[in-house]
Structure 1
Amino acid sequence: MFRFKQFSVGQDRCAMKVGTDGVLLGAWTPVRDADRRGLDVGTGTGLIALMLAQRTTAARITALDVDPDCVGQARENANASPWGHRIGTVCSPVQEFGDGPFDLIVSNPPFYDNSLPSPDAARTTARHTASLPFVDLLDAVDRLLAPDGRFAVILPAEEARRFRMLAARSLWLTARTDVRTTPHSGVRRSLMLFGRQPSECFPQTAVLTVQTAPECFTPEYRALTSDFYLKF
């Protein structure tokens, strides 16, 4: 069980456990007062769906996953939270899911492409793009996103560059934050926000450094995640 300030996440039946990537995406994704429907693609434990529910007062969040064990655990985690009535869970590939449109779509997707699959089938599904290629994810976003909706995603730096090129066919990058583990390390992850319409002042770019030394977290990282982590 992973405990946050306002909810806890059981994760014993999910291949992918609570991690920094999911917390970053759930905390960083801009949420508007007008957002009424959100979709978390590849929800796993339901972490990001729970974080979005905490950050809104009325939005209904759909937590979608292809793994029945994950969907069951996400449902249990939602029911144990203060926002279970606003979180729906669905077991389906996003390629076959059609309950749009959504004001906000988020995903911490599988990103390993040509690497060796894990012996654990569930972990392979969660980590490798065979079950959800980037093209399929983007096609689903294009189909499910409202005209003024936004799509947020987190990916490793190299995969993020490839993803941006593919997304340019139908979406505009409006904001990007590159994440470094320390001030002197390379970019580890990219947080990206896309929309259907371009804007003269976009894309907004920033760099977020997580820590200056082991367990010495930067003020920026603390501010971003302080509503969630118990240690902050």
Structure 2
Amino acid sequence: MGRNNYFQFKQFRIEQQRSAMKVGIDGILLGAWADVTDCHSILDIGTGTGLIALMLAQRSQARITAIEMEKNAADEATENVAASPWKKRVDVQNVSLQNFAAGSNQQFDLIVSNPPFFQNSLKAGNENRSLARHTDSLPYKTLMEITSTLLTEEGRCAFIFPAMALKEIENLALLSQLYLNRITMVAPNENKPVNRILVEMSKKENSTETDSLQIYNNDGSWNDNFKRLTRDYYLNF
């Protein structure tokens, strides 16, 4: 999905000609799943086209900072925000998470990221796509550590990871004094194994709620639970 030069949602449009990573289900899942209750400030790490930032702007009144280290993507995200109904509440910055954290004292009620996740695989031929897809530029350990420093005491963070990374994420979260509150195990359909996890963490230790989600039915149609989750965004839901 999302290989065209644009992707039209119900309330906004994503142009994606220059950004290395196009609109995909991972980003849409996170943007629809993250809990924006009582959020006044949100940080979107690695915003890409601005997709998740705009999804969160649509269903909150929060001020959103969207950071992106790759300039082509940051420029395109800036244009997508400017063309949206929420341009006064979303600020796109062309900066890495490491440099942003070094220069900012701000803390956030919600931090979200669809981070790079290919760790030990061949790099893609396109340099910008490699930057977006591989953890070299943002290792999970760094993501957890900086998230913990930028999160308010009552705040929460939400990420999407490959399912195989769950144990590593649990360990790294604990080292950064973050605790898993909510996990959704995502599978393409009921006949395929879980391949993604949506994870919510906070600085408060609670019991972890776990549930599951399927994207498609076995006949290839969209699963009803996925449709319910994303119906405020997809034109055809």
- 1:16, distance to aligned residue in structure 2 (A): 0.3
Structure 2: tracts of 5 or more residues without a match: 1-5
Q: Is the 8 A contact 2:20 2:128 kept in 1?
A: yes
Q: Kindly, what percent of the aligned residue pairs are identical?
A: 43
Name structure 1 gaps, 5 residues minimum. Answer: none
- 1:97 shift after superposition: 1.1
- Equivalent position of 1:144 in the other structure: 150
1:177 aligns with 2:180: no
CA separation in 2, counterparts of 1:198 and 1:89?
A: 32
* Equivalent position amino acid for 1:122 in 2: N
SS for the counterpart of 2:217 is strand
Matched, 1:223 2:228: yes
1:158 maps to which of 144, 161, 164: 164
Which residue number corresponds to residue 49 of structure 1? Answer: 53
Assess if the C-alpha contact under 8 Å between 2:190 and 2:218 holds in 1: no
Matched, 1:91 2:94: yes
Q: Which residue of 2 aligns with 1:2?
A: 7
Structure 1, residues 97-133: CA drift from partner, whole Å, max 9, x if none?
Answer: 1332000000000011111111211011100011111
Question: Per-residue deviation at 1:160?
Answer: 2.9
**Aligned equivalent of 1:126:** 132
In structure 2, the partner of 1:35 is 39
Mapped partners of 1:165, 1:229: distance in 2: 35
2:161 match: secondary structure: strand
Query: Residues of 2 paired with 1:214 and 1:231: CA distance?
Result: 18
* Cα RMSD, aligned residues only: 1.0
Secondary structure of 1:217's counterpart equals: coil
How many angstroms does 1:215 deviate by? Answer: 3.9
Q: Check the 8 A contact 2:123/2:134 in 1, yes or no.
A: yes
Of 203, 211, 214, the residue aligned with 1:206 is 211
Alpha-carbon distance in structure 1 between the residues aligned to 2:160 and 2:145: 17
Q: Which residue does the alignment assign to 2:73?
A: 70
SS at structure 2 position matched to 1:92: coil
| TM superposition shift of 1:219 | 1.3
Alignment partners' CA distance in 2, 1:160 and 1:19: 21
Instruction: Report the CA distance between 1:214 and its aligned residue.
Output: 4.9
Which SS does the other structure have where 2:20 is aligned? Answer: coil
Deviation at 1:217, TM superposition (A): 1.3
- Contact map agreement 1:71 1:91 (CA 8 A) in 2: yes
8 Å CA contact 1:101, 1:145 repeated in 2: yes
Other structure's SS at 1:116 match: coil
Does structure 1 residue 80 correspond to structure 2 residue 86?
Answer: no
TM score, norm. by length of structure 1: 0.96
- 1:179 partner SS: strand
Which one of the candidate residues 110, 120, 123 is aligned to 1:114?
A: 120
1:15 maps to which of 9, 17, 20: 20
Query: Is this contact kept in 2: 1:111–1:159, CA < 8 A?
Result: no
1:60 aligns with 2:66: no
Work out the CA distance in 1 between the residues paired with 2:172 and 2:127: 27
Distance, in Å, in 1 between the alignment partners of 2:82 and 2:123 is: 33
